[in-house]
Amino acid sequence: MTILSILASGLFLLNTKTTTLAVVAKQGSDPRIFYYGTTVSGSDIDGLGRSGFTYQPCYTPFGLTGPQEHAISVIQSDGNNTLDLKITGSSLDEWEDGKILTVTSADPVYDIVVNNVFKTYYDEDIVEAWAEITNGGRKSATLTRYYSAQMPLHTGNVWISTLSGSWSNDANVYQEPLVRGTKLIKNMDGVRNSHSSHAEAMISLDGKPCENAGRVIGMALEWGGNYEMRFVTDDSDYHRIFAGICPDNAPYTLAKGETLATPPVAFSFSPEGMGGVSRNFHRWGRRWRLAHGDRERKILLNSWEGVGLDINEECADQMMGDIAAMGGELFVVDDGWFGDKYPRAVDNSSLGDWVADRNKIPGGVEGLVKMADDHGVSFGIWVEPEMTNTISELYDKHPDWVLKSDGRDLICGRGGTQLVLDLTNPEVRDFAFGVFDRLLTENPGIDYIKWDANMNISTYGSPYLKKQAHLDIEYWRGFTEVCQRLRAKYPNVTIQACGGGGGRTNWGVLPWFDEFWTSDNTDALQRLTIQWGTSYFFPAIAMAAHISACPNGLTHRVLPLKYRCDVAMSGRLGLEFQPKHMNDEEKEFCRKVIASYKEIRPVVQFGDLYRIVAPFDGKGYTSLMYVSEAKDKAVFYWWKQANFTDIHLERPLMAGLDPDKMYRLKELNRIDDNPLPFEGQVFSGRFLMDNGISLPMFNEVSGSTPEWSSRVIYLVAE
């Protein structure tokens, strides 16, 4: 194909470092995708068509395309239910890290205009796609489906891996072949959207999903509200994949002249298995989508699992002293610190009354900030700004600030009294921003905020909104506005996104947050599964992983402190227990763990993740490693999950190392009486990747060999 004929055909090759997305935008035709895969150049561009790739629709409108599944449907003001989209123009712009292609299509009869936008992130091998839908007519038009993007995918032995779970059982991996029919992943929580399912999927093109081999496309919808991902397989040569806001019960009325910009879907292609896609998303997340993706995270102690709502000044003082002595850097006061007229004694009151409970905390928040400073640690605080309780001064004053439906009883959540505030209302947005503004202005020493959200939308009704069907979208506009105002005024504060655990682990909310609370479940064994799934799309720097008490508060499991530490050390390390209940030996062990984590923190938080053996592989252990960008340092993790007599564990092969570098091995958090044979020895990267290392079944400790064993090994190139 010559350059001229390429231009005439409207073919755009959107290249990233190792991939090409070929979009066809021919005047008068509809937008098409030709190819998505490894980079295509030179004569291979010609080969695309000859090898059997065909132009496939990438934003199918409803009404004139027969039985094809569609991405957009509109009911016009006169009741007409058809839409026709013909390309009227296209533009290609550059931005710092790539290109932005905008393909504009219009209906020749009705004034509906759609921009399909594709934005490349060259260095990270990511392409975002979204749609901007404009009603240029004189009357309103109603969108009954308004997905962000549509991606065709050639059929074959295609498998899909998705994440699903529930409160405290977050992000389990489910893998299945894409077979005939429609697979629909959908979330209708309204406030958090990653508990029951995640808005991300891995699509393995070469059969059963593999970690470090095979072609894989990863996709993530960047949206915090209700969503759908639809995978359609029929008797044609292509699967059709759709993602966007869930339009169920949410027809969107576009006023005259109004544009609806849908949230982007980020795609990444890698020939290096799911691990390759994860590494692309992690790099992209750290560089472009996460607050302070280049800043090391502090090691913190959070009060929640240690003392629950019984936080007070004396106990804060003791906990701050303990975390400081262990070498930690931050103390976070969780739930329970607030409420004046209605103090938060149990979880049925006070949300919205964000003033210190002076009975528990006579010196107020300012006193706590000063106390932390005196202990030499930073200070953080928990708030749930989108919520209230019927027992609160806020609700007494503003009963119309909650989501509810006229003439119907309130549907309450946690404690039998919790309600979601109506963020569609500008006054409520001001209030929510004001919660942060007042706390941070009065206490400039606050370094960290845990922003929680413990309830879903139970009543789809807003006392403020004129178009009730817009509630989901308007809620998210309100949320986004609060986030933007908060970040504009307080760019440096660290903010954790928490939604009753991992309910807000999505790329839609993360741009304003530094990290997320991965799960309310801190049981180290179950965390292996939760953190594994979460790591598909989210980097360790953002994945809060805390060492918790034993037995675990939720699973009641008894696990050695070392095992709990070794699991937490594979994410953003924190502590979540009452140190008062530990003996000196345990505190000393935590002190050493924190010191070691400081050593490996840059590798874990900025390195590349290589997942080796999955917790659900049935091999009796889980293993993964992080490798620094320069491949001069790496951290290898191994956790035994099953214990039966005479089982024989395979040697895990390392990954991601430089084959030609020589690495010296050092075990961290060692409790065994004797060092393992490889301790302090030097091996080539090639040897470690080809042969791995044998790890014994147990941590051999005289007098107390525990059932569970785990290893963290630090590799440093000579």
Which residues bind to ligand GLA, rule: CB under 6 A?
304, 334-335, 382, 452, 454, 498, 500-501, 517, 520
Return the number of the residue (228 or 335) whose C-beta is nearest ligand GLA. 335
Whole-number minimum distance, CB 501 to ligand GLA, in Å?
Answer: 5
Q: What are the structure tokens assigned to 477, written together? A: 């506009």
How far is 62 from 75, CA to CA, in rounded Å? Answer: 10
Whole-number minimum distance, CB 38 to ligand GLA, in Å?
Answer: 41
Determine contact, residues 603/573, Cβ cutoff 8 Å.
no
Determine contact, residues 614/173, Cβ cutoff 8 Å.
yes
Residue 240 has φ and ψ, to the nearest 5°, of -120, 125
Whole-number minimum distance, CB 450 to ligand GLA, in Å?
Answer: 6
Give the chain's largest Cα–Cα span: 83
How far is 174 from 691, CA to CA, in rounded Å? Answer: 29
Return the number of the residue (10 or 579) whose C-beta is nearest ligand GLA. 579
Return the number of the residue (272 or 335) whose C-beta is nearest ligand GLA. 335
Return the number of the residue (517 or 621) whose C-beta is nearest ligand GLA. 517
31 class by beta-carbon count within 10 Å (0-12 exposed, 13-18 middle, 19+ buried): buried
CA 715 to chain centre: 28
28 class by beta-carbon count within 10 Å (0-12 exposed, 13-18 middle, 19+ buried): exposed
Determine contact, residues 620/695, Cβ cutoff 8 Å.
no
Position with the least CB separation from ligand GLA? 335
Closest CA to 668 of 653, 679, 682, 657: 679
Return the number of the residue (106 or 419) whose C-beta is nearest ligand GLA. 419
The conformation of residue 163, written as its DSSP 8-state character, comes to: E
SS3 595: helix
Whole-number minimum distance, CB 503 to ligand GLA, in Å?
Answer: 8
- The one-letter amino acid code at 51 reads S
Whole-number minimum distance, CB 307 to ligand GLA, in Å?
Answer: 11
State in Å, rounded, how far the first CA of the chain is from the last one: 50
Return the number of the residue (474 or 576) whose C-beta is nearest ligand GLA. 576
How far is 23 from 32, CA to CA, in rounded Å? Answer: 6
Return the number of the residue (30 or 520) whose C-beta is nearest ligand GLA. 520
CA 494 to chain centre: 16
Whole-number minimum distance, CB 302 to ligand GLA, in Å?
Answer: 7
Return the number of the residue (185 or 455) whose C-beta is nearest ligand GLA. 455
Q: What are the structure tokens assigned to 715, written together? A: 């590799």
Return the number of the residue (276 or 306) whose C-beta is nearest ligand GLA. 306
Whole-number minimum distance, CB 45 to ligand GLA, in Å?
Answer: 51
CA 272 to chain centre: 21
For 276, the enclosing helix (H) or strand (E) is helix 273-284
Return the number of the residue (278 or 518) whose C-beta is nearest ligand GLA. 518
Whole-number minimum distance, CB 134 to ligand GLA, in Å?
Answer: 40
Whole-number minimum distance, CB 279 to ligand GLA, in Å?
Answer: 28
Whole-number minimum distance, CB 335 to ligand GLA, in Å?
Answer: 3
Closest CA to 223 of 295, 310, 307, 147: 147
Return the number of the residue (447 or 452) whose C-beta is nearest ligand GLA. 452
Find residue 648's DSSP bridge partners. none
Whole-number minimum distance, CB 124 to ligand GLA, in Å?
Answer: 30
Determine contact, residues 327/319, Cβ cutoff 8 Å.
no
Return the ∠ at Cα 337 (arms to 334 and 343), rounded to 5°.
Answer: 135
